[in-house]
Structure 1
Amino acid sequence: MRNAWSLFRYASLRAKDAAAAATERLLKDGDLAEAWKHGERTLQQPFTRAAASRGEAMRPTIRGEKLLVRRVAAPGAWNVHVDDVVLFRVPEEEGGRTEVRRVAAAEGHEMLSTSEEDEPFRLPQGTCWVLADNEELDAKQVMDSRTFGPLPYQNVLGRVIYSYESDLDHGIVDNSEHVTTSDEVVLSQELDLKWLAQVEPIDIKQ
C-alpha cells in the first residue's frame, strides 16, 4: 500500500511538471499544439539526470562527485527556493557555462553588502541570488552572484537532490524544506546507485 501511494504521488508530480513545461512553452511561443507536444515529451522523460561536479566551491556539501539533478520545469519563485542547491547556466556575458550553487535570496529580497561602498538594493522580479557553500573562498575565487549579479530564474536547469562519491559515501543533498518531501518521492522511484556509479555524467566545474 505504501509503495502504491508513492507511485501515485510520483505520477502526480510528473503530471504537474509536464503541465508546467507545457504552460511555459505556450506563454513563450503562443502555439497550443507545440506546447501540448512539449508537455508530452516532458512527461515521457525521467525527472533526473546525472552530472559530475569538480572543484572546491560547494564544499562541504559537494566534494567533487557525481550528482543526481532533478529537472525544474518553468523555474520561478514558486519552485526555486532559498536554500535549494541548483544547477544553472551562468549568464552569457560570463561565459554561459553550467555551475552548481545554493540559492541565498529570492526576488524582492533586500540585499545588504559588507562593504560600506555598496548601496543596498532589492533583487528584481524573476531573479535570485546564488552563492557557493565554501566560506573559505572569497568572491574572486568562485563564480556566483557576487560575480555576475542576480541570476534569472529561467537560467535554472534543475535542483541537486543526491550526491555520490563512492559506494560508502553517498546521500541526499540538503535543500529547502519546501522540496524535501517531493524530492524524496522522486528518489524513491528514480535513484539507482549502480547506474549512478557507472554513468558518464555531464561535467560541471565549480
Structure 2
Amino acid sequence: MGARSQLWSIAKMSVTGGVIGVTISDRYVTVVAIKGHSMHPTMTATDSALRGDIVLAEKACLDQYKFSRGDVILFKCPSNHKEVFVKRLIGLPGEWIQLPASSEIIKVPQGHCWVEGDNAARSWDSRSFGPLCTRNMWRLAVNSSKNWHQVVLNNLASFLEYVHFISL
C-alpha cells in the first residue's frame, strides 16, 4: 500500500506541475530555443537547445505594451501558424520603410508591422513575405542568453511579482 500511495502522490504532483507549467507558458511567459541563423550574431542557434541561445518571451504585456523599433518579437509564421519566428521590429503601422539594398520605399499598412532578422543574408522576414499582420505577434522577447538556467533565474523574481500583482 505504501508504494501505491507514493506512486499516486507522484502522479498527482506531476499532473499539477504540468497544468501549472502549461498555464504559465500559455498565458504569461515561455522559454524558446533559437532555431536557424536569421538573428545571428545577436542570437545563435546550435544543434542542441541546451547549448544555443534561448529567449524568455512574455505574452501578458502585449495588450498594453507600446511596441517600438528595435524590439525583438516572436510571431507566428504567416504561411505556417505552427511555426514561431524571432525577428527584430523595424517598422510600425503607418511608418515608411526603405527596403534594404533598394531604393523602394513602402508604407507599412495599419494593423501591420515590418520585421527583419539581424542576419539579412539568412533571414526569411518581411523582405520575403511583406508586412506582418500584428495579430500574428505572439510574444515579446524580454531576455536572451546562452544559459537557460540564467534566463529563468534572472527573471523568476520579477515574474512572481507580476503574477502576484495581477492576482490582487
Interval of TM-score (by shorter of Structure 1 and Structure 2): 0.5 to 0.7
Q: 1:70 aligns to what?
A: 58
Structure 1 residue 81 corresponds to structure 2 residue 50: no
Question: 1:112: Cα distance to partner?
Answer: 2.1
Deviations 1:91-117 (A, max 9, x none): 1xx33321000001101111223424x
| Secondary structure of the corresponding residue to residue 43 of structure 2 | coil
Residue 71 to residue 167, structure 1, CA distance change in 2 (3 Å): closer
Greater radius of gyration (CA): 2
- Partners of 1:99 and 1:57 lie apart in 2 by 9
| Secondary structure of the corresponding residue to residue 128 of structure 2 | helix
Picking from 117, 141, 147, the partner of 1:132 is: 117
TM-score calculated relative to the size of structure 1: 0.52
Q: 2:107 aligns to what?
A: 122
Amino acid at match of 1:88: F
- Give the percent of matched residue pairs that are identical in Structure 1 and Structure 2: 28
Question: Could you list the runs of 4 or more consecutive aligned residues of structure 1 that deviate by over 3 angstroms after TM superposition?
Answer: 72-76
Aligned pairs, how many? 127
| Structure 1 segment 142-157 matched on structure 2, within 5 A | 142-157=123-138
**Structure 1: where are the runs of 5+ without partners?**
1-41, 172-183, 192-206
Amino acid at match of 1:99: F
- Partners of 2:145 and 2:34 lie apart in 1 by 10
Q: 2:98 aligns to what?
A: 112
Larger relative contact order (Cα-Cα within 8 Å, sequence gap ≥ 6) = 1
**Structure 2: where are the runs of 5+ without partners?**
1-22, 46-52, 161-168
